[in-house]
């Protein structure tokens, strides 16, 4: 049996988070970053999310950090203060086991406590796994931008999914 634990991230998690994330940065179009992120930069990102009063969670599987999820402000203007953009990443060897749904569900629970209204997920296309995860959690597709990013010499589309926490039956 696999033992899992979800807890708030700390800057001490930055190295392991980089190891998970940089795989996606350097080998996929899932992230539009083009250069691997360093430990100090990641620690600062974790601190910035916390300073904004938003959650950054990590998932441990059998004592090893296997994934993370967090939210950031959607836009800086005050009227957007009730909307956030969500992010979730799993270690490449931990996908397809339902762990993303557990981790993302925990993030959504934390966001409900923050009295937020809307969670927005941007997904580089194609990405059936991420689309399936979002839709299983109640997100619905609301936008699609064609050829909005270029990575590895090719144009990449991005779709946007939203979850209204006030209408999802749990908020």
pLDDT tens-digit readout, 96-146 = 899 999 999 999 999 999 989 999 999 999 999 999 999 999 999 999 999
Domain-located, residue 157: yes
- Strand pairing of 83-90 and 118-125? parallel
In the predicted model, what is the mean pLDDT of the chain?
Answer: 95
Domain-located, residue 171: no
pTM (predicted TM-score): 0.94
pLDDT band at 170 (very low <50, low <70, confident <90, very high): low
Beta bridge partners of 61: 4, 64
Write down the residue that tokens 């904004």 correspond to. Answer: 52
Domain residues for the domain of 44 are 4-164
Domain-located, residue 169: no
Provide the domain count of the chain.
1
We report the CATH number of the domain holding residue 22 as: 3.40.630.30
């Amino acid at each position: 049996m696999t033992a899992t634990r979800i807890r708030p991230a700390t800057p001490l998690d930055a190295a392991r988070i980089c190891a998970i994330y940089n795989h996606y940065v350097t080998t996929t179009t899932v992230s539009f970053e083009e250069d691997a992120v360093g430990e100090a930069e990641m620690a600062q990102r974790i601190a910035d999310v916390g300073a904004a009063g938003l959650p950054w969670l990590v998932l441990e599987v059998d004592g090893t950090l296997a994934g993370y999820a967090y939210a950031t402000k959607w836009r800086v203007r005050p009227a957007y203060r009730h909307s956030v953009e969500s992010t979730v990443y799993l270690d490449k060897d931990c996908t397809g086991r339902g762990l993303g749904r557990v981790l993302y569900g925990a993030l959504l629970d934390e966001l409900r406590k923050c009295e937020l209204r809307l969670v927005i997920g941007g997904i580089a296309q194609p990405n059936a796994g991420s689309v399936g995860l979002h839709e299983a959690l109640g997100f619905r597709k609301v936008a699609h931008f064609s050829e909005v990013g270029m990575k590895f010499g090719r144009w990449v589309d991005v779709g946007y999914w939203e979850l209204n926490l006030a209408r999802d039956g749990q908020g």
